[in-house]
Structure 1
């Protein structure tokens, strides 16, 4: 049996040798086999110290109390009947004090700056500064790590007074804090000075205004008849004057227009005076509206006229057909009687039946085919005359 293997050490209080902890009572633990008869432990600032060969008893954990700040190392070895094991070294870092120095000041005192910059400077001699926690008006803290500039730019602040609590946190979680107060005021409102009260359909909207800030960006808001407002941006001249002309002509409905100004840092004013512009239809628009208003009435008249025209044409055609029948009857009546026509009809039908029967058996000759067509045509004319004669008798009775 040989000497024990060097133990594997862990720590519930200081598990990562590369990190810092504010707990100054570190605990270490390890496992032993049944042949182990003693242990030897030591903690100091040397990473490779030999704890010696004097046994500290037989146990599987060790706790140190009230350890000073700084970088430390835990050393341990095991003993059995064959001798002492190799040495295990386990580093741990302790920092129990807050940073020694911390200052935070605003870089600018301009009250219209809605995204002010804070200059931060902190020092911690033991573990060093890890990050800053910035809490604005009691909201969730913003975690910020110095990028080397020592300057933190705040998010946009609304108008009013703000309380900013800032913590400088070292690598062990200890912190030092300061509280700042910041008053923010919005930019002064622009004023719309020249605008039309009424426009005609298709006219372009033109608005003039002024602001106390030269060369500042002006946001023009245009809202048509309760719809979602749209924004257009123009820039004031060196005197603070600005003008806006709509890219397209106006449509029907009233328009509301107002303006805001915004500086290069993102600070905005509130809305200016809101103006309302009405849109008239003009002569062509009025004519069109009148036509649309009475369009249903015009449609009904056209439908009625169409119905009357249909019946008129039908009546004319009916009377024309009737007159033609009457003229044909007057032309033929002197030469033939109805009874004779009926007899002729019977005879023609007989001939037609004979020709049909013949066509069932063989193909008709050219002469027979012409006779068939002639008989059919003549029979049609006879029936037409007989029908006309009946109508004539009916007219006489009436």
Structure 2
């Protein structure tokens, strides 16, 4: 009988042949039926996007509601495009989708729904975010000399909020500061601003506790006048520049006077040494000449009394030559000493 509770005859409908009988636990495994691939060329169903700003038109992160189906291959994921950014959401992720923080303005948001076969359908919606209260600038200096005064501005904004002050020139941001308004919305800024001459635009925005940023305020324009000169990254006032030139001039004059004094001192030293050398040279020359003349005088006296011997004659001749040579050497050396001066 068959292995069932009704005692069915397992061979009543069998033909002749050889059969294999297995206990239930040793039956051969069943061959799975192969899956038939599904060909899906249809995109997911069309869908709409609902925007929920949660009752606040200034909400910087409104919610988006959207969903669709695909009967053949099934849904895979969504792509949300916000400005130039694309965010991917897998099917089943938490809905609604909260947009990233946006500043006030109108934005075209698009959502693509992809099925498992890669087909997609796209839907779009415009999201408008209104600005919170726009701040004001009530005091702004028309002219600023940054080397002699500080930059001061004040105004009103949302109470207890952050105020962002922008300092721009030719649409290029030069500086940015954050200050806080008080409980009545008053704010002020005092800063040292070292910038080059020109016309600068000052504007402010408000940011509340949610991070919502307002539209910029009406700008004010400041004319920066520099009684100064820019040297690379440094700015030097003309007054400071004059003092620098005066100091440099004094140093140059002091150096010139020092060189003149040193030159004169050196010259005096040379003159003194030259004079001492001349005196010493004169003394030695006179002593040497006197010694030769004494010896010649002795020979002349001897000549008046007798005839000089050959040796004495030779000696007289040599002494006269020595006297002439010494005089010539003295004259040449004296000329060299004079040239040293």
Normalising by structure 2, we get a TM-score of: 0.55
More strand by share: 1
Equivalent of 2:275 in 323, 327, 345: 323
Once residues 81 and 225 of structure 2 are traced to their aligned partners in structure 1, the CA distance between those partners, rounded to angstroms, is: 49
Provide the residue aligned with 1:153 in structure 2: 98
After superposition, residues 170-181 of structure 1 pair within 5 angstroms as 170-171=115-116, 178-181=123-126
Instruction: Assess, with a 3 A threshold, how the Cα gap between structure 1 residues 115 and 146 changes in structure 2: closer, same or farther.
Output: farther
Provide the residue aligned with 1:90 in structure 2: 34
Once residues 329 and 226 of structure 1 are traced to their aligned partners in structure 2, the CA distance between those partners, rounded to angstroms, is: 87
Provide the residue aligned with 2:63 in structure 1: 117
Equivalent of 1:241 in 186, 197, 204: 186
Contact 1:130 1:170 in 2 (8 A): yes
Equivalent of 1:193 in 138, 156, 163: 138
Q: Deviations over 1:13-46 (max 9, x none)?
A: xxxxxxxxxxxxxxxxxxxxxxxxxxxxxxxxxx
Q: Deviations over 1:235-268 (max 9, x none)?
A: 223333222233xx44474584442333434545
Provide the residue aligned with 1:132 in structure 2: 78
Equivalent of 1:270 in 216, 223, 226: 216
How far the C-alpha of 1:320 sits from its partner, in A, is 1.8
Equivalent of 1:215 in 156, 160, 163: 160
Q: How many residues align?
A: 262
1:166 aligns with 2:84: no
Contact 2:63 2:99 in 1 (8 A): yes
Instruction: Assess, with a 3 A threshold, how the Cα gap between structure 1 residues 390 and 129 changes in structure 2: closer, same or farther.
Output: closer
Provide the residue aligned with 2:291 in structure 1: 340
Contact 2:61 2:101 in 1 (8 A): yes
Once residues 274 and 118 of structure 2 are traced to their aligned partners in structure 1, the CA distance between those partners, rounded to angstroms, is: 116
Instruction: Assess, with a 3 A threshold, how the Cα gap between structure 1 residues 286 and 145 changes in structure 2: closer, same or farther.
Output: same
Equivalent of 1:104 in 49, 71, 84: 49
Contact 1:251 1:279 in 2 (8 A): no
Structure 1 alignment gaps of length 5 or more: 1-84, 344-382
Contact 1:106 1:117 in 2 (8 A): yes
Structure 2 alignment gaps of length 5 or more: 1-28, 229-235, 295-325
